[in-house]
Structure 1
Amino acid sequence: MSNPKIAIVIGSTRKARFADKPAQWMLEQVEAHGGFDAEIVDLADFDLPFFDEVGSALYVPSEDPAAQKWQAKIDEFDGYIFVVAEYNHSITGALKNALDQAYPQWVRKPAAAIGYGGVGAARAIEHLRTIAVELQMVPLRNAVHIGAGAFIEVHPMGKNGPMSEIEAVIKPASDQMLSELDWWARVTRAGRAGEIS
């Protein structure tokens, strides 16, 4: 059977964002793991409007072509790793809007996260987990948190070092998360295909 297909979703659309750096590092970790086919999916490429549909995509098809394009893209994947910036103790508005612009495409798929900020986006990732539950996803326990000193080492407003400078700190968490993601992606894919009930 083919490897599960995983999207690394960049959850910030700001021009001055930091997200590209951890997203690229995460892609390298996923590729080194060998158990997935992975792709970076950048919200900035989709120009999603603010949600303005008649209702949730759970109940009625979306009419906006941008939303339809987004839904078609995320439907390709068996699981997701969200690259999470923390804005005022939560996820970005762009990421929340993107999550709201779909529904059936998220259902029964695992949601992992790599976050960054003063506390490693811990509060934002916890909020993401509660949103994922409502979207009938499987939020993972393990996540990668780039916080405090490690964040300063790699952020442009700090030392702007390469991600390799903090790899010893964050790779154990990444390895645990990818192991968990591997199991859930395979199990949920089999369940969605009707192989288990």
Structure 2
Amino acid sequence: MTTPKIAIIIGSTRDARFGDKPAKWLYDRAAKRDDFEVELVDLKDFDLPLFNEKASNAWMPSEDPRAVAWQNKIGEFDGYIFVTAEYNRSITGALKNALDQAYKEWNRKPMGALGYGGVGAARAVEHLRNIAVELQMVPVRNAVHIAAGSFMKVHPMGENAEISTIEDAIGGSADALFDDIAWWAKATKAAREA
């Protein structure tokens, strides 16, 4: 069996987004591991339209070439880590749209999250896990939450420090998330290949 390939997906497309900063930190930390390969995937690179297909690609092929390109990209991976803000107690509209643009590509693969905001995007991450269940993903237990004082330390509206300055607060959670993703990616990959 080949090494599982994991996508770290930046879940915001706003010009003023913060997600690039924790995503890069997460990617750099994940890239040091030898139990999976990792790639940073940016929703901004896909120019996805609002979902407008006749049906989910669970039922019929998508027609919009941008949706098909997105499906082909995410289909390359054996698991996903979403980097998400919390907008009005949920994930971003861009991330929800990206999730809706595919179905079978997500199936039977693990997912986890890094959330950031006042409560570490805890409500958004929980909502994301519920969406993932419907898409037949395997939500893992551990997540990274950048919240409260840690969030204001690294956010541009606060001190704008490097993520490494809060590593003591979130590094253990990241490693636990990676352990979960690696285990489930290996298990689900073996099951899919069988």
TM range (shorter): over 0.9
Q: 1:126 aligns to what?
A: 126
Q: 1:188 aligns to what?
A: 188
Percent identical residues: 63
* 1:56-89 CA distance string (max 9 Å, x none): 1111110000000000000000000000110000
Is the partner of 2:30 in helix, strand or coil? Answer: helix
Q: Distance in 2 between matches of 1:8 and 1:24?
A: 9
Is the partner of 1:33 in helix, strand or coil? Answer: coil
Question: How many angstroms does 1:2 deviate by?
Answer: 2.7
Q: 1:50 aligns to what?
A: 50
Question: How many angstroms does 1:118 deviate by?
Answer: 0.2
Q: 2:18 aligns to what?
A: 18
Q: 1:101 aligns to what?
A: 101
Q: Distance in 1 between matches of 2:31 and 2:3?
A: 11
Q: Distance in 2 between matches of 1:181 and 1:10?
A: 17
Q: 1:33 aligns to what?
A: 33
Q: Distance in 2 between matches of 1:3 and 1:30?
A: 14
Cα RMSD after superposing both structures: 0.6
Which segments of 5 or more consecutive residues in structure 2 lack a partner in the other structure?
A: none
TM (norm. structure 1) is 0.97
Alignment of 1:130-141 (within 5 A): 130-141=130-141
Is the partner of 2:120 in helix, strand or coil? Answer: coil
Which segments of 5 or more consecutive residues in structure 1 lack a partner in the other structure?
A: none
TM (norm. structure 2) is 0.99
Q: Distance in 1 between matches of 2:98 and 2:104?
A: 13
Is the partner of 1:103 in helix, strand or coil? Answer: coil
Q: 1:86 aligns to what?
A: 86
Q: 1:77 aligns to what?
A: 77
Q: Distance in 2 between matches of 1:8 and 1:154?
A: 20
Q: 2:148 aligns to what?
A: 148
* 1:27-67 CA distance string (max 9 Å, x none): 01111222111110000000000000001111111000000
Is the partner of 2:39 in helix, strand or coil? Answer: strand
Q: Distance in 1 between matches of 2:29 and 2:114?
A: 12
Q: Distance in 2 between matches of 1:34 and 1:13?
A: 30
**What amino acid is the match of 2:139?**
P
* 1:168-192 CA distance string (max 9 Å, x none): 0000111111111110000000010
Q: Distance in 2 between matches of 1:34 and 1:146?
A: 25
Q: Distance in 2 between matches of 1:169 and 1:35?
A: 24
Alignment of 1:154-169 (within 5 A): 154-169=154-169
More divergent stretch after superposition (46-55 vs 30-39): 30-39
Q: Distance in 1 between matches of 2:32 and 2:153?
A: 23
